[in-house]
Structure 1
Amino acid sequence: MRLVVVGDTLLDREVHGTVTRIAPDAPAPVLDEERVSERPGGAGLAALLAARRGIEVALVTALAPDAAGARLSELLTAAGIRVYALPLPGGTPEKIRLRAAGQVLLRLDRGGPPRPPGDVPAAALDVLRDAGAILVSDYGRGVARHPALRAAVEESKAPVVWDPHPNGPPPVPNCRLVTPNEAEARRLSGDAGDGSGLATAQRAGHALRQRWQAAAVVVTRGAAGAVLCQGGPTPLVVPVPAASSGDTCGAGDAFAVAAAVALAEGALVSEAVGAAVAAASDYVAGDPEMSGKAAHEGRIGAAEAGRLAAEVRTRGGTVVATGGCFDLLHTGHLATLRAARALGDCLIVCLNSDSSVRGLKGDNRPLTGQEDRGCLLAALDCVDAVVVFDEPTPEPVLAWLRPDVWVKGGDYDTLPETEIVQRWGGQTVIVPYLDGRSTTRTIAEARRR
C-alpha cells in the first residue's frame, strides 16, 4: 500500500541551549547554543511519521531552490520518502524555535508570505492515480489550492483524509474523513462556541460535513479526545487512552496519518478514528513509533515488570505480586487485586498464558486470549504491570521477580509458592475471596441458560 501525502512542507529547526544571564543591551535572555536539530515539518512531518510505520510513502509538495529546500530533500529522501516537488517561488518556509530547559523562548519564521507553487510534474499526477490512500496535509501555503492537484485528488478512488487549515481552501468533495481541531472547526464553521466544548464540536462538525460534502468530519479536542460526526445526528466520542502533558506539536499529523493508514487497510471510519486518537496520544507522550497501541499496553511484559520492581525497590518500597488465569474478569478478581495492591507500592500480575491455561483447565479454556486478558488487567488502576508465563505455575517468574509479598485470594490453608518466596525473605498472604464469584461458575450458569 502506498500512502501519498499532499501539502506544504517546511523545515523545523530546534536550537537548544542554556540561559544563565540577561543581555546587557536589552531586557532579553541570552541563549548559549548547545545543539541544533532539524526535521521536516507540515506535510513533510506527516510523510515522515508514515514512513516510520514501514509503509511506502510519496510526498507531493513544493520546495524552493534554496538551502532549506535542499536540506528538506535530504532529510525526506534519507527516510525513504519519494519526493515529488512543485517549484516554489521565493524561499522554503522555515520555523526556528529557540529552547531552554524544554521551553520555547522565541520562534523565528522564514520564507516570507505564501506564494502559489508552479506547475505539477506529470509524475506527481501519476503517483496520485496509483495511491492506496491520500492524505492532504494543508498548512495554508498554497499546495492544497493548486487546481491540478485538487482535480487529481478528487478523481482518485483511494480513501482521502484531509487535514484542513483556516487559511487554506475547503476540502474537495467526498473526502472519507476531514480532521480539523476544535479551534479550526470553530473558525471554519463560524460557530460562536456557545455551550460546552463537546456541543460546539458536534455542531461545527455536522455543519462542516454538510458544507464540505464529506463522508465524515472528526473534530480533535486534545486531551478530551475526538468527536466524529457522520450521517446521523449523534456523534461518536472517542476518548484518549491516557492523558499526557508532552509536546503536542505534530500530534495532528500523527492523528491524520494513523487515520489514513487505517482506512487504506479497510478499517471503518470509527475504527480509524480510534486508532488515530491512540496514535496521537502516543506521539504526545513521546513515543511516535508505537503505531496506535493503547497506553496501558506498555505495562505488559517481563521487561516492564522487572523495571518497575527495581524502581520500587530503589525507593525502598514494597513489591507485591499475584497470579492467575483471570479468564472472564469478574468482581471476585477485582476484589483480590485491590486488596493485593493495598499491601505495597506496586502490584505485578503474573498471568497464565493460553497454553498454560489449557494445561490446567482443559482444551476449551481460556475463553479470552492472553492478549485481551493482559490488556484488561493492565487497564485497571490497581494493576501496575502484567507478565505472562507459559509454565504450569508462576514459580519461574517469581524466581527472577522476587516480590516482597505474594498474594492469592481464596480459602487456602497454605500456598504452594510459600517455599520459593521465603528464599529471599518474602512472605505469602491470603486475602478474602468474594463468595459465589468464579469463572467456572459463570461459564456453567451461561451454559444452563
Structure 2
Amino acid sequence: MNGTTGTSPLVVVGDTLLDRDLVGTAERLAPDAPVPVLDDCSEHVRPGGAALAACLAARAGRAVTLVTALGTDPASLRVRGLLEAVMTVVALPLDGELPEKTRVLAGGRPMVRLDRGTGRAAAATDTARRAVSRAAALLVADYARGTADALRDELASRARRATLVWDPHPRGGPPVPGARLVTPTGAEARRFLGHDTEGGAELRATARMAEELVVRWRAAGVAVTLGPRGALLSNGDSPLLVPAAARYDGDACGAGDCFAATAAGLLGDGALPAEAVQGAVAAATRYVAEGGPRTAVREDVPEAPADAGDERDDGVRLARRVRAAGGTVVAAGGCFDLLHAGHVSMLQQARGIGDCLIVCLNSDASVRRRKGPGRPINPLADRIRVLRALQCVDAVVAFDEDTPENLVARLRPHVWVKGGDYSVEQMPEAAQLASWGGQAVLLPYVDGRSSTLLATRAAAARRPS
C-alpha cells in the first residue's frame, strides 16, 4: 500500500491451507535414479490461502478477523498458532484434515509440489454469521474448500450494505451479486468464461472478458490481475489498465492474495476502485520484490518494537530488506510541495535505476525555513499521500532538519537522486554516499516546471485585472 498503514478493520472469509516450502540446492543427481538431490534443505511453514491474505492485511497494520475452517489435526493446530498472535480467528468446523501444500524449491525455483489433505468446511456457526453480518469491509478468498459456500447467504446479504471484495477460484462458486470488486487472474477469467484467447490480442480479450464478467457476476467492478504487467479494471464500460512500476523475477506465490487484501483494505478505507487497484498493484509488486512468501509471514512472531508505527522505520526496514536480497536501494529528496510533471518524471527515472525508491521529504518546518513564509502550500500529510499514490514510489519518509543527511545515514542507499538546478558539488549527501560506496546523481526535471513557478502563476491568476 505504498507504505501506508491501514485504518479500517477487515473481515477475511475463506479457506485456510498450510503452506510448506522445502528450500535447498540441487547440483547433483541421485545415484539410484536420475532425479535431483536437494542439499542443505530447510523448511519454511506459513499459513496459506485465505489465511495468507489475512496475514498480509494484518502485516499492513489492519485489525483483521479471519473466518475459516480449522480442525484439531496437526496442520490446523500449527496454522492456528501462527494466526492467533496477529488476528482474531473465528473457526468453522472442518470435515477432514486441513489441506497442506508443499513446494520443493532449488535455487529459488519450484521443482515439484505435493498436496495432501481434503478437509472442507462442515457448516457455518452463529459466531461466523455475526462476524460477517457486522463487517464494514469483507474479503472473500475462495479456495473452493467450502467456507464461502457455508456463509453464502450471509455474504450475499452483507454485499448490499458493506464493501465486499471476492477473490475467486475456478473450482469454487461464483461471487455473490453486488461485490464491489472481483479479482480473478487472467487465466482464471478465461476458464470462468471458457475463453482461450492469448497472444497479441490478449489485452483486448482481457478487457472483453472483464466486461462480460461484470455482467455475469453482477459486480460493480472486475480487476483481472496480469502478473508482472499489473491489472485491468473494468466496471462494464471503459477498462483501466494499471501497469506495475517494475518487474521482478522473484517468487510470486501469494501475490494475488496480497493484491486482493490490499484492494479490500483500501476500498474499506474509502478509496475509489481505481485508487484501490493502483495501491494493490504497487503492494503486490513490492511483495514480490521483497521475497514474496519467504518474507510474508514469520513462524516466530516477534513483539513489535516500541516505535513500530514510525514511518521512518518502515523506510529503513524496506531499504534493509532490499539490500539483503541483493537489490539496489534508491533514495530521492525534496520538498515536493506542488507535485508537477517534472517531479513525476524525475521520480519515475529514479525508480528505474534500482529495486526500490524511498522519498525523503522535508517536513513543513523544514520547507518553511528553506522556502520562506507561506510555504509549504500543501501540508506534510497531503504531500505524503500524493507521493505514496505514485506507483514508482515505494516509501515516503519525512525529516525535520534542513538537509536529510541523518536520514540518509539510516537508509544507506546505493543511489541518491536529486532533480532540478543542482550540481553534485552542491549536494551535502554526495560525500556521505561515497563513504559507503554509494553514488549521488542528478536527474533533469521537465523544463519550465517548478513548484515555485506554479505558485507564482496561481497567485497571479487570482489577482484582479
Report the TM-score when normalising by structure 1: 0.74
Out of 206, 212, 217, the position equivalent to 2:211 is: 206
Counterpart in the other structure of 2:183:
179
Counterpart in the other structure of 2:254:
250
Task: Specify the code of the residue in structure 2 equivalent to 1:127.
Answer: A
Task: Give the 5 Å matches for 1:112-127.
Answer: 112=118, 117-127=121-131
Task: Indicate how the Cα distance of structure 1 residues 46 and 410 shifts in structure 2: closer, same or farther if over 3 A, else same.
Answer: closer
Task: Specify the code of the residue in structure 2 equivalent to 1:32.
Answer: D
Instruction: Please identify, of 185-194 and 130-139, the stretch whose mean Cα deviation from structure 2 is larger.
Output: 185-194
Task: Indicate how the Cα distance of structure 1 residues 405 and 217 shifts in structure 2: closer, same or farther if over 3 A, else same.
Answer: closer
Distance 1:409 1:33 in 2: 51
Out of 90, 101, 112, the position equivalent to 1:106 is: 112
Residues 159-183 of structure 1: per-residue CA shift (max 9 Å, x gap): 1111111111111111111110111
Distance 1:68 1:273 in 2: 33
Query: Are the aligned partners of 1:302 and 1:388 in contact in 2 as well (CA < 8 Å)?
Result: no
Distance 1:13 1:308 in 2: 24
Counterpart in the other structure of 1:133:
137
Counterpart in the other structure of 1:78:
85
Distance 1:304 1:99 in 2: 25
Distance 1:184 1:404 in 2: 40
Deviation (angstroms), 1:436: 7.1
Task: Specify the code of the residue in structure 2 equivalent to 1:8.
Answer: D
Please say which structure displays the higher CA radius of gyration: 1
Task: Specify the code of the residue in structure 2 equivalent to 1:242.
Answer: A
Distance 2:112 2:25 in 1: 13
Residues 381-404 of structure 1: per-residue CA shift (max 9 Å, x gap): 9x9999866455789899999x99
Task: Give the 5 Å matches for 1:14-163.
Answer: 14-32=21-39, 34-89=41-96, 91-112=97-118, 117-146=121-150, 149-156=151-158, 157-163=161-167
Task: Specify the code of the residue in structure 2 equivalent to 1:248.
Answer: A
Task: Indicate how the Cα distance of structure 1 residues 136 and 24 shifts in structure 2: closer, same or farther if over 3 A, else same.
Answer: same
Distance 2:46 2:242 in 1: 30
Counterpart in the other structure of 2:460:
448
Task: Give the 5 Å matches for 1:191-202.
Answer: 191-193=195-197, 196-202=201-207
Distance 1:435 1:258 in 2: 36
Task: Indicate how the Cα distance of structure 1 residues 304 and 6 shifts in structure 2: closer, same or farther if over 3 A, else same.
Answer: closer
Deviation (angstroms), 1:336: 11
Cα-Cα RMSD: 4.9
**Structure 2 stretches of 5 or more lacking a match?**
1-7, 297-310, 351-356
**Structure 1 stretches of 5 or more lacking a match?**
291-296, 310-314, 316-320, 341-346
Deviation (angstroms), 1:355: 2.0
Deviation (angstroms), 1:306: 12
Distance 1:335 1:209 in 2: 35
Distance 2:155 2:208 in 1: 27
Report the TM-score when normalising by structure 2: 0.72
Deviation (angstroms), 1:36: 1.2
Distance 2:447 2:9 in 1: 56
Task: Indicate how the Cα distance of structure 1 residues 36 and 204 shifts in structure 2: closer, same or farther if over 3 A, else same.
Answer: same
Residue identity (%): 48
Counterpart in the other structure of 1:280:
284
- Total equivalences in the alignment: 413
Deviation (angstroms), 1:196: 2.3
Q: Which of structures 1 and 2 has the larger relative contact order (alpha carbons within 8 angstroms, sep 6+)?
A: 2
Residues 359-410 of structure 1: per-residue CA shift (max 9 Å, x gap): 34332223355674898699899x9999866455789899999x99999976
Counterpart in the other structure of 2:375:
365
Counterpart in the other structure of 1:294:
none
